[in-house]
Structure 1
Amino acid sequence: MKPIGHARPGFPCWVSLAAPSLQAAQKFYTAVLGWTWRPTGVGEEFRTALFGGAPVAGVGALASSLRSAAAWTPFFAVEDADATAARIHERGGTVGVGPLPFGPGRRAALAADRDGAVFGFWAGEALPGWPSGPDGAPAWLELRTRDAFAAALFYGEVFGWASPESSCSVEYENDEVIVREAGRKLAVVHGGAVEQAPDPEVRPRWYVHFRVPDVTAAVAAARAAGGTVALAPTASPAGRQAILRDPDGGLFTVTAA
């Protein structure tokens, strides 16, 4: 499988936050995750977050006319943006924006799966530092959805996770579908058990897990910086974690795994 920069096709390659206030987002995530910042070169309303000198995420300001909460979006590397968009449409998903040029030699798009979970895909050179990196960098992605098996089929077909050419392994365990590469967890699809009917109360959403040295300390920092706790620190098979909400409503997970 041909690498794309630091990410192979079908692999997570980037995460970005759309926030009502760029300055407020920078202040909050600096306090909670210890990030520093640099301009992106694509406009004053965008910044790249750094940890240990490596790019780990992007943050962009929402247009003032859009009255929506902040939201984290994962991006997956692809070889052909147009072919990926076609596969999404064929499988009942939607492509809301793009594919559009995004920096030199890159094209990106925003899409949603059949249940409405938003994600992006990116063709072209990836940025270093993702998917695994030092403390403060993204650890993995998690999709919480109504039907894990159906969602895994959708993404597996769109991104070729189970194709003969893929180096990924796709496993079902503990009511989760786990995508790994060389033993490294890349993405988790979590829903109800296969034998159960889909849960209509679940709002499908991708969560970004950020690795931190101390979950309790990260929760305290988030509260002090104006954030809230959506799920208190708990032990899980993946390690101790908590779901936090930034002051603008952006949900993300911190994990000590």
Structure 2
Amino acid sequence: MIETDATAAFDAAERAMWAGRTEAYAGSFGRLCAYPVPALLDAAGVGEGTRVLDVGTGTGTAALAAGERGALVRAVDADPGMVAEARRRGVAAEVAVLPELPFPDGEFDAVVGNFVLNHVGRPRAALAELRRVLRPGGRIAVTLWGARRGAGQELLGQACAAGGAVPPSYLPRLDPDEDFTRTPEGLAGMLTEAGFGGAEADELAWAHRAGVEEWWGGVAAGVGNVGLVVTSQDAETVVRIRREYERLSAVYADGEGLLALPHVALLASATA
């Protein structure tokens, strides 16, 4: 699909949302998003000598894990701050924004994208571009936050609602024409639609363990949509949200000083 005003606005809102939040992301949601990386790399067939592209690398977690397997890794991210941090950690990363990548056709044996399709205004065009840079027979694997959410995923949103938060108008909103069914079947179908073969998808479920302050710290710094909601409120509303968060989070206490927050995500893979 061609770019529309709605997709351009979505991409611009995403760029603004992540700008300057690398450290806050790394200290909060970054650990959450690291969980599926081993399964993601397995699904893409990443091993010794595999030429891998990690798209939407963030702080470089998947790229580093691929490198530890002996893969030859390149990485891209749309946010310069994320790229700088990935480079600091030793990743060969550069700034690039889907659906346009600075690589020739068939450059890679495997492409991985860990929670990146949630953040692009044209997910189908993004998948077509990822297929372009894969060699014939190369593997793609992607993770995505799906329609089914774990109970712990809802915690911060519930605290916002209970605290009387009003979502701001500038939250990223995907063009309905670009949206897709966020189920295993829907994600696998979109990979097939993009020209991949043998698409498979399933759900991953896990309990993310984080401290009360750690889990609050990301949203307090404006990370993610829920972070934009929190940081757009007046001071009194933020106090109410925090109070509700502490009340609601008590049910997830693991008895060892942490919260055990159930999460669900999608993992899909296919062949170019």
Normalising by structure 1, report the TM-score.
0.27
Structure with greater proportional strand content? 1
Normalising by structure 2, report the TM-score.
0.25
Q: Which has the higher contact order (CA 8 A, sep 6+)?
A: 2
Structure with greater proportional helix content? 2
Larger Rg: 2
